[in-house]
Amino acid sequence: MRQAFQTLIIPYKIEGKKIKYSIYFRLKQNIWQFISGGGEDAENPIQTAIREIKEETGIEINSDYLLKLDSESTIPVVNVTGKFTWGKDIFVIKEYCFGMNISDKKIKLSNEHKKMEWHTYEECMKLLKYDSNKTALWELNERLLREI
């Protein structure tokens, strides 16, 4: 059963002093977005993120690969499932955000996406539709810039 929360995972790689982000064109919504998906059964957000990464990229990881971001948003339920999935009184659900370094991994694109591209922070900001994705990307980029 689908749980009333969403995860957003931003894959990245660092090459020298340059950070690139893996962004995906989602077929159903016709938008650019990072990896995302909702909790199933008794999953917590970290377990959901790990499963979504495997489903959407073919990459198997453990929680050590995830960087939990402070960014959390609320999303209208109709933007997630297209209807009031969790009853007429639940209007928004939480979105938990993570970064994931995949410099040493190969992506195998799922059928949820038309394509995947690597872009800079500035390029991603132009392509992304949702403010929650932009905020999470800003936070991750700032964190990574402090490390390189």
Domain definitions of the chain by residue range: 2-143
Beta bridge partners of 6: 38, 95
Whether residue 116 is predicted with pLDDT greater than 90 in this model: the reply is yes
What distances in angstroms separate CA 44 from CA 39, 40, 50, 51, 139, one per listed residue? 7, 9, 10, 11, 22
What the block records as the tokens of 64 is: 């050590």
Whether residue 111 is predicted with pLDDT greater than 90 in this model: the reply is no
Q: What is the pLDDT of residues 70-93, one digit of tens each?
A: 999 999 998 888 899 899 999 999
Q: What is the pLDDT of residues 6-34, one digit of tens each?
A: 999 999 999 989 999 999 999 888 999 99
Q: Is the pTM of this model over 0.95?
A: no
Whether residue 53 is predicted with pLDDT greater than 90 in this model: the reply is yes
**81 and 5 Cβ atoms separated by less than 8 Å:** no
CATH code of domain 2-143: 3.90.79.10
